[in-house]
């Protein structure tokens, strides 16, 4: 038996006027999902408990992989740090460091969050900027580490004080930052670091070139998502199955590494709609050919489109997921003659109307190649149909056991 979890990050949504009052899932041309839906179990699952805030991809993907966030969650950035190869000590704190674009008011607190991703700055450009900031701002207790595109990491070495509170930058797009600046004793110190970064980045040659090209410059760092070194049980030992995680983003790759799963790198995987969809499908097929049994294939594109309010790109990203990933993997399964099961779902909603995540349950679909006798013509994979089935998992981390059983 082969297993595939096809995770479309932030894929769930609300009806959108521009889409004829349909959700992106309802609007998208997704023939493979639609075909599977007629023979599948479809319902809702709550991946992020209400008491955990914000409802981030860290908690949600952890739940989908079968890890109870109340037991395993220590913060977002430590998972990314694992993927970056950062060796955290037990008393270190890792913090996500976005390169953002703020408006140009003189007073930092008066600025607006123009772009949480600096126009999805390239990895080559951002690595040079982070290296520059590390040279200028690092100390014996503060270090900067480069990641992918706008996503990076700051590590506080040997830090016992955890008095810091941050706001994710994608939650405040278009808003004045004054209400959302860091709080707490350590948070206020780090806020000074953010302000210093703005002065240093202002006239950096990379930013001047981006402005010439009509792109948003990276005008400041924005810190959030702090946490300490995580400790996970092995996915293989928990489920007696060999698994892989395929993703473009350090957060999900870090989850896979913490779970002691195979985490192949896919050339050209970016975390946005211009990612290497085909390369991800090929990586999954290669893993199955080598004897692997379970693949957790994560696509970030729908989430990024939701945060940026790119309505039609969100629809297109779902269509690409269906055409460029599901189609070749299903073709491989069918030709191999192996029985297989596919779980299709988002980790959380990222509604276009609010441009951030919510706690609401998400639609899931489980297809079993051995179960193609009973057909439901009215079934479809979308939020509306999933809510009509009365199938509901209140604890998201329990869904994986149901899928694998």
For position 120, what pLDDT does the model report? 93
- 202/100 same-domain check: yes
Q: Give the torsion sign (CA, 102, 103, 105, 110).
A: negative
- 257/200 same-domain check: no
Q: What is the CATH number of the domain that holds 321?
A: 3.40.720.10
- What is the average pLDDT value for the chain, to the nearest integer? 96
- 355/208 same-domain check: no
As a whole number, mean pLDDT of residues 183-205 equals 97
Asked if 151 and 96 touch (Cβ cutoff 8 Å), the reply is: yes
Residue 354 has pLDDT above 90, yes or no: yes
Q: How far apart, in whole angstroms, are the C-alpha atoms of residue 227 and residue 256?
A: 17
Could you report the per-residue pLDDT of 61-116, keeping only the tens digit for each?
Answer: 999 999 999 999 999 999 999 999 999 999 999 999 999 999 999 999 999 999 99
- 265/354 same-domain check: yes
Per the structure, how many domains does the chain have? Answer: 2
Percentage, residues of the chain above pLDDT 90 = 98
Could you report the per-residue pLDDT of 7-52, keeping only the tens digit for each?
Answer: 999 999 999 999 999 999 999 999 999 999 999 999 999 999 999 9
- 377/325 same-domain check: yes
Q: Is 40 helix (H, G, I), strand (E, B) or coil?
A: coil
Domain residue limits at 195: 84-227
Percentage, residues of the chain above pLDDT 70 = 100
For position 142, what pLDDT does the model report? 97
Beta bridge partners of 365: 42, 344
Of the pLDDT bands very low, low, confident and very high (cuts 50, 70, 90), residue 373 is confident
As a whole number, mean pLDDT of residues 343-351 equals 98
For position 152, what pLDDT does the model report? 97
Asked if 239 and 402 touch (Cβ cutoff 8 Å), the reply is: no
Residue 248 has pLDDT above 90, yes or no: yes
Q: Give the torsion sign (CA, 120, 123, 124, 129).
A: positive
For position 374, what pLDDT does the model report? 80
- 137/38 same-domain check: no
User: Last residue of some domain: 227, 261, 286?
Assistant: 227
Could you report the per-residue pLDDT of 377-394, keeping only the tens digit for each?
Answer: 899 999 999 999 999 999
Q: How far apart, in whole angstroms, are the C-alpha atoms of residue 102 and residue 174?
A: 9
As a whole number, mean pLDDT of residues 274-297 equals 97
- Report the C-alpha dihedral over residues 191, 130, 58, 313, rounded to 10 degrees: 110
For position 168, what pLDDT does the model report? 95
Residue 38 lies in a domain: yes
Query: Of all helices (H) and strands (E), which one includes residue 156?
Result: strand 151-156
Could you report the per-residue pLDDT of 110-147, keeping only the tens digit for each?
Answer: 999 999 999 999 999 999 999 999 999 999 999 999 99
Residue 349 has pLDDT above 90, yes or no: yes
For position 159, what pLDDT does the model report? 95
- 273/350 same-domain check: yes
- pTM for the full predicted model: 0.89
For position 209, what pLDDT does the model report? 97
Residue 294 has pLDDT above 90, yes or no: yes
Residue 372 has pLDDT above 90, yes or no: no
Residue 162 has pLDDT above 90, yes or no: yes
Could you report the per-residue pLDDT of 302-344, keeping only the tens digit for each?
Answer: 999 999 999 999 999 999 999 999 999 999 999 999 999 999 9
- 168/304 same-domain check: no
């Amino acid at each position: 038996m082969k297993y595939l979890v096809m995770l479309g990050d932030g894929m769930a949504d609300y009806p959108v006027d521009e889409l004829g009052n349909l959700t992106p899932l309802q609007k998208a041309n997704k023939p493979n999902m639609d075909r599977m839906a007629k023979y599948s179990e479809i319902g809702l699952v709550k991946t992020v408990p209400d008491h955990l805030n914000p409802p981030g991809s860290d908690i949600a993907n952890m739940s989908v992989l079968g890890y109870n966030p109340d037991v395993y969650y220590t913060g977002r950035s430590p998972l990314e740090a694992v993927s970056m190869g950062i060796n955290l000590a037990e008393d270190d704190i890792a913090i996500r460091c976005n390169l953002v674009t703020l408006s140009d008011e003189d007073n930092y607190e008066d600025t607006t969050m123009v772009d949480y991703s600096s126009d999805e700055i390239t990895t080559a450009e951002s690595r040079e900027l982070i290296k520059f900031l590390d040279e200028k701002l690092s100390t014996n207790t503060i270090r900067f580490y480069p990641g992918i595109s706008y996503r990076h990491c700051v590590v506080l070495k040997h830090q016992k004080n955890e008095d810091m509170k941050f706001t994710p930058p994608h939650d405040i797009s278009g808003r004045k930052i004054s209400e959302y600046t860091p709080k707490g004793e350590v948070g206020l110190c780090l806020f000074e670091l953010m302000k210093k970064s703005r002065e240093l980045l202002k006239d950096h040659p990379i930013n001047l070139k981006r402005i010439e090209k009509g792109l948003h410059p990276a005008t400041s760092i924005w810190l959030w998502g702090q946490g300490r070194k995580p400790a996970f049980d092995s996915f293989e030992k928990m489920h007696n199955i060999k698994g892989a995680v395929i993703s473009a983003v350090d957060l999900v790759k870090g989850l896979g590494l913490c779970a002691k799963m195979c985490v192949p790198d896919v050339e050209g995987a970016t975390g946005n709609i211009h990612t290497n969809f085909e390369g991800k499908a090929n990586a999954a097929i290669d893993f199955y050919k080598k004897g692997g049994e379970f693949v957790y294939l994560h696509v970030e594109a729908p989430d990024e489109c939701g945060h940026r309010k790119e309505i039609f790109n969100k629809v297109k990203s779902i269509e690409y997921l269906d055409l460029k990933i599901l189609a070749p993997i299903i073709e491989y399964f069918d030709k191999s003659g192996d029985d297989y099961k596919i779980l299709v779902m988002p980790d959380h909603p990222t509604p276009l109307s609010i441009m951030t995540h919510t706690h609401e349950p998400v639609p899931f679909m489980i297809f079993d190649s051995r179960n193609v006798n009973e057909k439901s013509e009215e079934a479809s994979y979308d939020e509306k149909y999933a809510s009509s089935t009365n199938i509901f998992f209140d604890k998201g981390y329990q869904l994986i056991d149901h899928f694998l059983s």
